[in-house]
Structure 1
Amino acid sequence: MTENLLRIDTSTKLAGLIGHPVGHSLSPYLQGRLASHMGINMAYLGFDVDPGTLESMINGGLAMKAVGFNVTVPYKKDVMQYLSSIDPKAEKIGAVNTLKPKAGSFVGYNTDMPGFCRALKYDGVDVKGRNVVMIGAGGAANAVLCGLLEEGAAFVLVLNRTVSTAEALAERFRSDYPGQTIETWSLSDDYISFMKKPEFSDKPWIAIQCTSVGMHPDDTNTAIKDDEFYKLTDTGYDVIFNPSETEFMRRVKACGGRAFNGLKMLIFQGFRSFEIWNDVIVDDEFATELIPDMEELLSNN
C-alpha cells in the first residue's frame, strides 16, 4: 500500500471532515493520497463536532483560512443554514457535503451526485435511455436519483417502505426533468409484476441499492429477497462498500448480472471535492491505483 507523503510547513493548506463521529472515515487517507498524487501541499484532518457546536466549527474554519471541508452525518442538512450560497444541484438534492470559502463565508456543494456519475462511467454503466429501479428513498438516494436523471435515465422506479417518502423525493425532481418519468411504489406492493409489463421488456432493468440494509455487520441481509426481482436486472449497483460484496450484489451476480459496490462513488466524490478546493482536475485513472489500497484498509478495519 502506498503511504501518504506530507511535509507540513507554514504554506500547508488545511482541509478536513466535519461530522460526528468521524473516526471511521476513509476520507483523510483518500485526500492525503490525492494531495500527494497532485503535488499539492494540503493536510486533511477529521473534526468530530459535538451537537450544538456546528456554527462555531464553521466560523473557526473561516478564521483558520481552511481551503474547504467535507461534511458528513449528521450535518449534511444542518450546515446549509450557515452558508452564503448553495450550488443549485446541492439545493435540489437537499444536502451539502463540500464547503469552499468565498468572500468571508462558505459556499456549499454536493459531490455525491457527480461522484456517483463518475463511478458509473468508470464501471462502463450507461443509464441513458434505460429503465432503472432504485431501492430506498433516503440519504444517498437523493444524490443517486439526481445523477440518474442527469445521465438520461428514461424511467426511474423508486421502491421504498414508505411511499410518501419516495413520492416526496420524486416530486422534487419531476419539474426539472419533464421528459423523464419517476414512479414510486411500496416495497410491500407487487412491484415485480409492474416491472414485467410489456413496455419495460425491451431491456433488463438497472438496479441501484440505496439503503443501509446489508452494511457490515449485517452482511447477509438485503432489502429485496425475491429472486424474480434480480432476474429482471442485468446490472446492480450498491452504494454500500463494506462489505465489498453485499448480499444484493451476490444475488445480482447469481442471476447473471454484473454488480458493483459504492467504493468508487466514495472515491470519485472525494476527487470532486479536492478539485473544487484546489481548482484542478484529477485524472479518473488514479482511482485504479487507489481502489485496491482502500479495499485493503477496509478489510483491515
Structure 2
Amino acid sequence: MSDLFDFRRRLDNYAVMGNPVAHSKSPRIHTLFAEQTGEPVHYEAIQVDPGGFVQAVGNFDASSGKGLNITVPFKQEAWALVNERSDRAERAGAVNTIKFIDKTLFGDNTDGIGLVNDLLNNRIEIKNKQVLLMGAGGAARGVLAPLLEQQPAQLIIANRTAEKARELADSFRDLGNIEGSGYEALENKQFDLVINATAASLQGELPPLPDNLLADGATCYDMMYGAEPTPFMHWATQHGATTVLDGLGMLVEQAAESFYIWRSVRPDTKPVIEQLRREMTA
C-alpha cells in the first residue's frame, strides 16, 4: 500500500467533478491517454454535493491538483469561478476544463471542439452544409461556436420552446448564418447534418421530426451514447441517413483536448474510442 501511495505522489493529479459522477468514463479515458503517452497522470472522479463546488475546487487546488474536468451540474458555476477563460468558454457560458496555473484558474470548454473533431475524423463535412441542431440548452450552447467556425451554409437550432431557440441563435449571429425555430417550422426543410443535443434519448424519447427531414447522404449524430443505439439513431436509420453516429467519439475527443490543455501532448483518440466501444458492448 505504501508503494502505491509513493507512486501516486509522483503523479500529477487530475479529476472530474460532478453529481452524479460514478458513471463517468473520464477516469478510464484519461488513464488510457496516460498509458499511451507516458504522461505521469493520476485521474479520479469526485462527487460534489450541491452547494459544495467552490469548496471542492479549493480543496483540490490546495492538494496540488493540476486540472479538473467539470460535468453536470457545475459547468456554469465553474464558468463563474475561474479567473480567466478561453474565447470558446466565454461564448459557451460554461466551463468543462480547468487548469491550475499558479494562483490562476484558467477555464476552457472543449465540448464543441470535441464534437467537431469527431465529425471531421469520421469524414463528415460541415462547411457549406445545411445543419440542424436539436435543443437549446447548455449542450447546444457549448458546441455552437466551433460548429459555426466550420462555416456551414446555415445552422438552424430547433427547440420545443421556439423562443429559447431564437434567443440562442441571436447570441451567436455574429459568427455565421444561424436561425432558431420550433420543430413545426422544419416542415419542407432538409438537412445534411442533424445533431441531437437534447436529453430526450436518456428518457427514450424523440423530438417531433418530419419524415422528410434528411437530405440525400445525410449524417445524424446523437451527442448521447450507450451500448445500444439511441431512439434518435433508430429514427435516423429508418429515415435513410447514410451515416449514424453516437456521442462516444465526442466524449473522447473533448477529453483529448482537455489532456492537451493540461499536458501539451495530444493523445491518439482512435484506439481509445475502439477500446471503450469494446468494453461497452462486452
| Fold shared, TM-score > 0.5 on shorter chain | yes
SS at match of 2:213: helix
Shift of 1:22: 0.6
Alpha-carbon displacement from aligned partner over 1:16-50 (angstroms, at most 9, x marks no partner): 01111110100000011101110011110111111
State the distance in 2 between where 1:170 and 1:226 align.
Answer: 21
Secondary structure class of the residue paired with 1:69 = strand
Map of 2:207 onto structure 1: 223
2:224 corresponds to 1:240 = yes
Aligned residue for 2:181?
185
Task: Verify the 8 A CA contact 2:75 2:96 in the aligned structure 1.
Answer: yes
For residues 103-161 of structure 1, the C-alpha deviation after alignment (integer angstroms, 9 at most, x for no partner) is 31311000101111110111111110111111111121112222210111120111101
The more displaced of 262-271 and 239-248 is 239-248
Which residue of structure 2 aligns with residue 288 of structure 1? 270
Correspondence 1:50-89 to 2 at 5 A: 50-89=49-88
CA contact (8 A) 2:163 2:181 kept: no
Deviations 1:60-89 (Å, cap 9, x if unpaired)? Answer: 122112110000011000122221111111
More helix by share: 2
* Residues 256 and 61 (structure 1), Cα distance of their counterparts in 2 relative to 1, 3 Å cut: same
In the alignment, residue 270 of structure 2 is paired with which amino acid?
T
Aligned partners of 1:135 and 1:209 also within 8 Å: yes
State the number of aligned residues: 277
Cα distance change, pair 236–226 in 1 and its aligned pair in 2 (3 A): same
Distance 1:107 1:98 in 2: 8
| Equivalent AA in structure 2 for residue 245 of structure 1 | P
Query: 1:168 is matched by which residue type in structure 2?
Result: E
Whole-angstrom distance in 2 between the partners of 1:104 and 1:20: 26
Secondary structure at 1:35's aligned position in 2?
helix
Residue correspondence of structure 1 range 1-301 to structure 2 within 5 A: 8-175=7-174, 177=175, 180-187=176-183, 189-193=184-188, 195=189, 204-215=191-202, 218-219=203-204, 221-230=205-214, 234-257=218-241, 258-283=243-268, 287-299=269-281
Q: Which amino acid aligns with 1:235?
A: T
How much has 1:238 moved relative to structure 2?
Answer: 0.8
Distance across 1 between alignment mates of 2:99 and 2:173: 29
* Alpha-carbon separation, structure 2, partners of 1:27 and 1:294: 11
Alpha carbons of structure 1 residues 155 and 50: separation in structure 2 relative to 1, 3 Å = same
RMSD (Å) for aligned C-alpha atoms: 2.0
| Deviation (angstroms), 1:206 | 1.3
Q: Give the gaps of 5 or more residues in structure 2.
A: none
Kept in 2, the 8 Å contact 1:231–1:255? The answer is no
Contact 1:234 1:252 in 2 (8 A): no
Q: Equivalents in 2 of 1:139, 1:274: separation in Å?
A: 22
Structure 1, unaligned runs of 5 or more: 1-5, 197-203
Quote the Cα distance in structure 2 between the aligned partners of 1:292 and 1:7.
32
Contact 2:169 2:178 in 1 (8 A): yes
Aligned residue type for 2:55: S
* Cα pair 1:159 1:166 within 8 Å, conserved: yes
How far apart, CA to CA, are the structure 2 residues paired with 1:274 and 1:108? Answer: 13
Name the % identity: 29
Give the Å deviation of 1:96. 0.2
CA distance in 2, matches of 1:209, 1:192: 17
